[in-house]
Chain A
Amino acid sequence: MRLLAVTVSLGAALLVMATAPSYAAGGDAIFKKSCASCHYTDGPAKEKTISDQLAKKGPELFYAGSKFKKDWLAAWLQNPKPIRPMKYNSLSEVNKGDHPKMSAGDAAAVTDFLMGLTSPEVKAGVIKPAESAQAKAIFGKKMPCTGCHEYSVKGEVHGGKSGPSLVGAGKRLNPDWVYAYLANIKVFKPVRDMPDFASVLNPKDLENVAAYIATFE
């Protein structure tokens, strides 16, 4: 009798496991299975050397919830168009746009998981989108972000190719994160090919640049 009960409950458990739809899985489980081979989510930043950075197949995501806008992230995971002109960590291979796609259900679950990964370095609700003469001068000429980042002028793409594109950055990036990144870049990326602009620009300038990037279409 006891054997029967054990067999039945074991059978029921197996049935539940076999029929459980994949979208019911938590975003963290989907991430672990589908994304964790290229992206790490357990901060703080692990890289200490250039070799550490070059060994990574994709960007670290331990502060994804502070960096990205939720609606953009959920849509991008279903239709991942290239953000970087070049393949990650490469100056010779272009980005083929071969990031895996997710179903709407999986994308929603993974988005929920990633949006929970926030950084204490990012103060929420401080930077609002705004154009300013100071920011335009810094972005284009004084400390030209344009040298390494693409941006759009009336739908036409200009700028350099080594960094992630800033076309559509207003929809993609949380301006509070952009400010925090400019102000304290080493916390997010200790080893990166972008200079530390907080060493040469004052906090107000960095705020203005973050606010300006938040207007980018």
Chain B
Amino acid sequence: MSRFVIVTAMALGLALGVVGSAQAADSKQVFDFYCAQCHGVNGDGKGINVTKDFATDPRNFTVTADMEKRSDEDIRGVIKDGGPSISKSPLMPPWGATLSAAEVDGLLAYIRTMCKCKGK
């Protein structure tokens, strides 16, 4: 009996791990496709659109001190409604009509791995 429980628990853990990493991979693809053009593949704010004409510095997601000040709700909101929703630049456009709620949640989780931080 106890062996069965252990095996079941291990299988479940393995399955959850696989699902988790698949979601992470999906979120990386979503990030690379939509966000990296301005925020950079590494999330450092150095995407190819950031030329001398770009009127703001896209958020550098790797700066823990900046990112931990942003709540999860702020980040979800700015992805969906754009920069002006938190008094930031309209160069961050609204993606609410493009991304699903699950994709937004996935991006939030992926960005939190970049800053190695949690929102306050």
Q: Which residues of A contact B (CB under 8 A)?
A: 50-51, 53-54, 85-86, 91-92, 141-144, 146-148, 158-162, 193, 195-200
Contact = CB atoms under 8 A, between A and B. Distances in A.
Interface stretch (B16-24, B43-51, B70-78): B43-51
B48 A91 contact: yes
B29 interface: yes
The DSSP consensus for interface residues of chain B is loop
Interface in B32-66: 32-34, 36-38, 41, 47-51, 53-55
A168 to B, nearest CB: 18
Contacts of B30: 50
B91 interface: yes
A161 B94 contact: no
A161 B29 contact: no
Given A146-B53, A147-B54, A162-B48, A196 B98 contact: yes
Closest A-B pairs by Cβ, 3 of them: A160-B49, A199-B97, A162-B37
B48 A195 contact: no
B13 interface: no
A195 B93 contact: yes
Interface string B87-112: 00011011111100000000000000
A148 B38 CA distance: 8
19 contacts: A50-B29, A54-B33, A86-B48, A141-B90, A143-B90, A143-B93, A146-B53, A147-B93, A160-B49, A160-B51, A160-B54, A162-B38, A162-B47, A195-B93, A195-B98, A199-B94, A200-B82, A200-B94, A200-B97
